[in-house]
Structure formats: C-alpha cells, structure tokens
A and B are shown apart, each in its own frame.
Chain A
Amino acid sequence: MVTRLTDALAARSYTDDELDGRTSKHTQGRKGWDMGAPAPFPEPPASVPVGHPVEAARRFRRFVLLDLFAAVGGFLVLYVALLLLGTQLAWPALVGAVLCAVLLPWSLRLHRSGRVDAAVLAVCATFWLQLVVAPLLVPSLFGAFAVLTVFPVLFAIPYAQRRTLFLVAVVTAAAAVTGVLLAMRAIVPVVSGLPTVLVQIVFFSVSVVFLALGLTVLYAHAGRLTEAVEGLREANAELHESELSLERKVVERTAQLEQARQETAVARDEAVGLSHQLAAILDNLGEGLIVLDPAGRVVRVNRRLEEMLARPSGGLLHQPAVLVLPELEGIGSTRAATREIPLADGRLGRAVASGIVDPSDHVSRGTVVLVRDITVEREVDRMKTDFISTVSHELRTPLTSILGFTKIIAKRLDERVFPAVSDPDPATARAMTQVRGNLDIISDEGERLTGLINDLLDLAKMEAGRVEWRDEDVDVDALLRQVIAIVEPLFQEKHLPLRLELEPGVPGLRGDRHRLEQVLINLLSNACKFTEAGAVTVTTRRRAGDVVVSVTDTGPGIAEGDREDLFVRFKQVGDTLTGKPQGTGLGLPICKEIVEHHGGHFEVDSEVGRGTTFSFTLPLPITAATEPAAPPVVDARALLRDLRDSLAAQHRSGPPLILVVDDHEPVRQLLRQELESHGYAVHEAADGHEAIRQARTLTPDLVTLDVMMPDVNGFDVAAQLRQDPATMGIPIMIVSVVHDEGRAEAVGVDSYLTKPIDSADLVAHVEALLTEGSARRQVLVADPDPRMRETLRDTLARQGWAVRTVSDLSVAAEAARTSVPDVLIARTDPAEPSRLVDDLRADPVTHGVVVVLFE
C-alpha cells in the first residue's frame, strides 16, 4: 500500500477536471492556430510522460480497485472468521463489506464524472468504516487498524482540495477516536488492580493525545506536501503553458519563416523579372549598346548592336573594344566622345561614348557606348548639304559679279570719274556722294550675304557631321594667346582693354585647334562689338574634370528671356527693328556645335546693363583630371653636359648660310633683307626642285621653306631633304600661311613660322637653330610625359639645340631614322628594357646617333 501511495504521489497533480479543461483548451488553442497559420502543427509525442493527467487518473482507478479488493476482502474475511469463532457480533463486518463494495465503485464513477473531492471522500469513507468497525468487533486488533488513520489523509493529498483534505483529517480523527473508545472495552481487563474508570480515562487520554499529535503532525506534513504538490501543479501548469507558448512560438516562427520565404521568392521573382525586363529593354533599344570596363574590354552588348555589326550573339563579350571597333580607340580617355563607325552592310553608325566616372574619386569605371545607325540620316544630311552647297554656289556666282563690279565701279569712280568732274554743281556733288555711299552699302551687304552663306554652309556641314574634325593636342593657353593676337586690332580700334586671366597648370586636351579658335574669335569679336566702354576679360579655370573658358564683357547685357534664343539659328537678340542686326545670326549656333562636338557645353551669365559672360567647357582627359600634375624633374644641366661630352664639335667657318625657298619673289626679298641685315649669307630657291638641288650642293646651315609652291610643296621638300644623307642634318624652318605643325613635325621640320612674318620672331628662330655660330646640334627627345617633353624642349632650345620630340619610345627609332639627330634623349622604363638602342645600332643610318637614356 505504501508503494501505491508513492505512486499516487508521483502521479503528480492532474485531476480529470484539469485534464478535461486542459484538453479542451489545448484543442481550442490548436484550432486558433490552425486558422492563422498554414504550417502543420507538430504532433504531440506518442508516449505519455510521467505525471501526465491520463496516467494520474489510471493510478487513481488502480488504487480504488486495490482498495476495493482489500477493504471488501478484509471485511468478508473478518466476518467469516467471527462466524467460525462463534462470536454473536459479526454482522457489522458484513455491513462494512457491503458499504465498501458500494462506496468504491461509486467513487470511481464520481472520479470519472470529474467530482474528484467527492470521489476522494468516498474512498476515505472506506477507511473510516474500517477504523470504526474493526475495534468494535475485535478491540485487540485496534493497534493493527490504527495505522489506517494515516491512509485517508495520505490518499487525499494528491487529489483533494485543501478544504476537503481538512475535512478528511477531521473525520479521520473522529473515526479514530470512535475506534479508540470502542477498543477500550477490551483493554480494561488487562490492567487490573487499578480503578476501571481511571484506567479508561488514562488510556483514552493517552490515545487521544497521541492521535491528535499524530494527526497534527500528519496534517502539518500533509499541508507541506499539499503545498509542494500545488507548487508542482503550478510548475507543471507553467511548464505546460511554456510548452504551449513554445509551440505557439514555433508555429509563429514557422509562419514568419514561411512568409519570409514567400516574400523572398516574390522579391526574387521580381528581381528576375526586372532583370529580364531590363535585358528586354536593352535588347529592343533602337540603338546599339556596348559597355566597356576600364581596361576597354566589352562587358555587355545588346542584341541591336550585334545585329548592327552582324555578329553572333555573345561573340563580342570579353574582347578588347578596339579589336571589335578600331574606331573606338581612346574613346574611354575622355568623359564624352563621338565617333563614326562602320556597320555591317556598308551602313554607318555614330558611337557616343560616356565615361562611367565615380564622382568621389574621378576614377573611370568603364565606358558606355551607344551606337546609332545614321545611314539614312547621313544620306538625308548629305542631300541637304549637297543642296546647300549647290545653292551657296548658285548664290555666290551672282554675288561675285555684284560685289566685284561694285568694287570696280567704286574704284573707277574714285580714280577716273570723280577727278574728271571738275567743279560740279551742288546737285551733282550730292549725287556723287550718294552714289559713292550707295556703292559702299551694296558692298557691305554683299559681304554680309557672303558671310551668311559661308556660315550656313559651315553649320549645315557640322550638323550633317561632314566636317572633318581634327583630333590633335590643344594647349588652351597657347590657343588663347593666338586668338588674342588675331582679335587685338579690333579692340585697339575701339580702345577697349582686353584682359587675360589664365589659371596656371591647365593641362592640354584633345580637339580641333582651328575650330576652337573659331569659337574664341567669335566670342571675342562679339564681346568687342557689343561693348562700348569697360573691358573684355578672358579667363580659364578648372572645374571638376573640365576647363572652363569664359569671355566677360561690360556690354549692355542680355535679358533672361533672350538667352535661350542666342544659340538658335537666325534668332538675333534684341529689337531687330530699332537695333541694327549685326552678324549673320549663325555665329553662336556654330560655336555651340563646335563646343558640343568636343563634349562641352555653353553657359551664359548676364545682367542687363552690367555685362555678359559667355563660358564654355571642354572636358579634360580623365587621366589628367585624376592625377595632380607633378612637376617634371630633370637635371637639365647634367643632361646638357653629357651631351656636350658625347659630341665632337664640328665647327664651320664663315657666316652661316641660309637657303630661302619661296615661289614668291617679294617674300624671298623680304627674308633675304632681314637675314642679311643680321649677318647671315642667303641663297634663294624659287621652287622645290631647285631647293633640293641647292641644298645638296651648298649644304646650307639652315633652309627656310614655303609650303604652297608649285610642283613640290614645302612638306615634300622637307621630307626629301630629310631622306638624303647629304642634307638630312640641315635644320628646316617652315615659313608659310599654311598652318599644319603636325605634318611639319612628321616630316622633320625643326621650326615653324606663320606668315605674315614678324622679323624679330624670324631672327629669334633662326638664331635658335644656329647657335653660337656653329653647326647646330639636333636632338631628338622621346618622353611619354608631355610636361617633361616641354621642359626638355625649352631647356635644350635655350641652349641652342634643335629639338624634335616624340611622345612614344616605340616610334623613337623610326623618328631617328628620318631625322638622324646628333643625340637622342629617351626616358626608359627600367622595368621594361627597350630595344631602342639595339634598333638604332643595327641601322646604318642611325648607328652613329649618341643615345642618352634616363629613367
């Protein structure tokens, strides 16, 4: 029985009541989650854990059945034994057996129906019956039955409420006292000699005191047990609650995960969709697209481009762009550039490249190139240009007559007719003045019309892309000084100061020098035209990756509403009825075309009454913009000393002999006079053939060459002189109206003078070429750094060397072969040994050239 009790205790505290409630709650809860969460709820484990309410109910039933067996069996055994012993008083045992047999199944029924306290009381009642009946029938067995007093309380502890437990304890005590009283009948004869009453009182008192003590201890203990059980029950409930909340959390988290998974899937689908959409957009773009990485390799193309070039899909990827489209070479070096590229089937495309430049560090991340098929456009443009060209021709021919005859008439009037009219009457004199004035007006208007036709043709050609743009190194400072020299007379005429404010260190850029010159001349002559007092200022400054050139005047200013019209063809700003229209109205549109071709744009800032600033930007090469220009370091003196030591001087006696080549007699005369007055001996040649012949026989110290000559032009003469071993060392100076220094450099010309000739300039150039009365030393400088090249050129030229420069070491040998310098100065990369010296030594023409290498 003790084991059973421990089992009952171990069966924790779940009643059927709680069990049912819990189950229903559990079910409800699950229903609730079912609605909210699609995730399957984790199934409870199949094995029932210890302390589970189902197990507790089974233990209760098992205990009741055992009690039924023991109590009913005990009463029946007692009844039979008493009958056999012949005792008259045996029936209470039978009554007890019957009562127990009724009470215990009833208790089970109560327990099943959830009335646990009643069930407990019913079970306890069987113990109370035994406590009363047993001493009644067999007083001497009271001791054995006394142990039953603990059972009701112990049994009730796990199941009963606190109040029921108290009731059980009280009733048990009453039953025990009754049992003691009944048992006392048999004790009396045991202690004889003492008054029966006294013995009974003592026995009763001692029994009651012990019972009370035992029950108190038991009750107190039971209280603690009950508390512990309740604690356990709460803990269990909490545990259960936490299990529930854990389950809930698992369900919630699962639901969240599911949601997140779905969201991710949606996002992924969207991203994939977007990427497809983007690819579809790019593929269906009307223009071809190429994206290049900073190394110039193709990283992306669209289908349109592959169609344009008739290339298989994906065939262009990862190739260097210059292999695919050689025209794209160098396109990444500026931030914006336009090139024309041939497409498949003889079609023509225009590639517009934009650098992907990180604004934080100005480092190129690659290039985006958009290619548009301009075949049809070009055809239309060509027709338009042809039309304009024809029209302009048709206009020019009558204009030629009008202007020409007007001028001749004016001349004849001035020279012959007017002087012949002696002493005219006032009416005739007025008519003569009017006629002369009218002729000037016809002349002026004719000139204006001619200018308009020229501008129109220019603009049409630009818009049609039929202008042959040069791509050459442009030094902005030099360009400005050149332009200012051209426009200065305009300013002097108006007594208007022209100021120049140049930011130092603006690097060179690539572009068409003459076209940029055209822009500046236009802006400056406009500024001069519109400014009556004050000054015109030209400034350059660097801004981000651009150089900004501004022309500021102190003229009347331009109202804000008119500024947009400035660059619109034929829109002349201001009131054209009252104000005299000036210019053709095409100057600024042409300037805009030129600047935009270079990747720049115009800005106009003006205040009416204060003046106007026209600015345009030109993008600088990206490399120049990213790295601050480091001043070139070269020990020029040491270099020169080396050169001197390396060379044996070749002195020539007598005054230096200069061969002047020009087909134009007056020019030859002018040069002869200038040069002879400075102590040079001069020979003349009137054409290229004669020049070459004389150069061979005379071996002059210097040749000056005109470019535009019959038969053989100056460049060809220079090239021939350079190729002939007898004349290749003679310095050549071009003196011409033709301005093509690039070509001059290519054929080995040492110096370049533009007509009209400034005599001081001429002599300075000649002296520079013929220093210290000795034959000049020709030096070829090969250095990739333009600043270093300039430094060397300046330093060496000041020391009397004729300096030629090349930018690339790889062409140095070739350049040396054509010009055969006395000395070649080359900057070599120590990490990349050059074959330059080997190449020079291997060639009989250049094997004697002194080579100075520096790093």
Chain B
Amino acid sequence: MSGSTARKILIVDDEAHIRALLEQTLEELEDEGVELLSAADGEAALALVAAERPDLVFLDVMMPKMNGYEVCRAVRSDLGLSDVTVVLLTAKGQDADRERGLAVGADEFRTKPFDPDELLALARARLGVDGDR
C-alpha cells in the first residue's frame, strides 16, 4: 500500500455541518499522524486529490458542480489513482446507488446518517492504523 508515513484523509461534502462532523469524528486520528483535508465541492476535491494524493477520501455523492460519482471516476481514470481508497457517503442509500458507486470504482459505500464510530473504525482499517494498539 502507500508507503508514506504522512497519512492523509480528504473530507468532501458541500454541507459545512457534515464536514465539521467528519472532521470531529476523525480528529483523534490526527494524534496518530494523520492529516485531515477538506473540500466543499467536487472540483476542489479533485484538485486536492491530485495535489495531495490522500490515502482515503470520504466523498459525498450529492454535490453541486461535480457529484461524487464523477469525482470518483475522475480519480480512478483521469488521475489513474487506484491506491486511493474512496468511501462514498450518500443520503440516498438505494441499491442502485450502491451499484453505481461500486461501478465507478468506489471501495466502500456508506449511507447517511452514519455512525461516527463506524467511520472511524473504517478509516483506521483502511489506513492500517490501529488505535487500540
């Protein structure tokens, strides 16, 4: 996987509250050397992915300008980044949405509302950081 020691997580959501929630959810990872980045729309997110090469992206689906599927597809095909773990977060949560998400190359699919602890555990697992250890 990524050999870099500076792990980065990118948080993408057009809702400031949700970004704040995700940041607070994941903030304890900062103590373990993980850097948290955030973006409020798809285009900014894609620019950040290209520039910062995060290890993990929490990506909202419904966003203005560029939706989460488009961002994910662009990350996989345009940037050619297969080692970035993309977790789609959506408030729609239908089977078809999940399939579409997996089709554009997302690794995980989580519906809102999510359990902060679960997302934290997911991030730990994906980054290979074990908080209990």
Contacts and interface: CB of A to CB of B under 8 A. Distances in A.
B115 interface: yes
A461 B112 CA distance: 19
B83 to A, nearest CB: 8
Interface in A22-65: none
Nearest to B62: A393
A408 B25 contact: yes
B30 to A, nearest CB: 15
A825 interface: no
A400 B18 contact: yes
17 contacts: A389-B94, A394-B91, A396-B93, A399-B112, A399-B113, A400-B21, A404-B25, A407-B116, A457-B93, A457-B94, A461-B94, A468-B95, A468-B96, A665-B128, A710-B105, A711-B82, A713-B102
B51 interface: no
Contacts of B105: 710-711
A471 B29 CA distance: 45
A714 to B, nearest CB: 12
Q: Which 7 A-B pairs have the closest CB atoms?
A: A396-B91, A400-B113, A400-B112, A404-B21, A401-B17, A403-B113, A393-B91
Contact of B102 (A454, A457, A708): A708
Interface in A802-838: none
Interface residues of A, number: 33
A397 B112 contact: yes
Nearest to A454: B93
Nearest to B1: A686
B113 A396 contact: yes
A322 B116 CA distance: 52
A664 B125 contact: yes
Contacts of B24: 405, 408
Given A393-B91, A710-B107, A400 B114 contact: yes
A260 to B, nearest CB: 69
Interface residues of B, number: 30
Interface of A: 389, 392-394, 396-405, 407-408, 411, 446, 450, 454, 457, 461, 468, 663-666, 686, 708-711, 713
Nearest to A712: B82
A405 B21 contact: yes
Interface of B: 1, 15, 17-18, 21, 24-25, 62, 82-83, 85, 91-96, 102, 105, 107-108, 111-117, 125, 128
Question: In this complex, which of A398, A454, A709 has the most chain B Cβ atoms within 10 angstroms of its Cβ?
Answer: A398
Contacts of A468: 95-96
B93 A710 contact: no
Given A393-B62, A461-B94, A666-B125, 20 more contacts: A393-B91, A393-B92, A396-B91, A396-B113, A397-B18, A397-B112, A399-B113, A400-B21, A400-B91, A403-B115, A404-B18, A404-B21, A405-B24, A450-B113, A454-B93, A468-B95, A708-B107, A709-B107, A710-B107, A713-B102
Contacts of A396: 91, 93, 111-113
Contact of B116 (A397, A411, A457, A663): A411
Contacts of B108: 708
A400 B116 CA distance: 10
Contacts of B96: 468
A710 B84 CA distance: 9
A454 B93 CA distance: 9
A397 B128 CA distance: 29
A664 B1 CA distance: 11
A95 B112 CA distance: 153
Contacts of B83: 710
A392 B24 CA distance: 25
A404 B93 CA distance: 17
Nearest to A447: B113
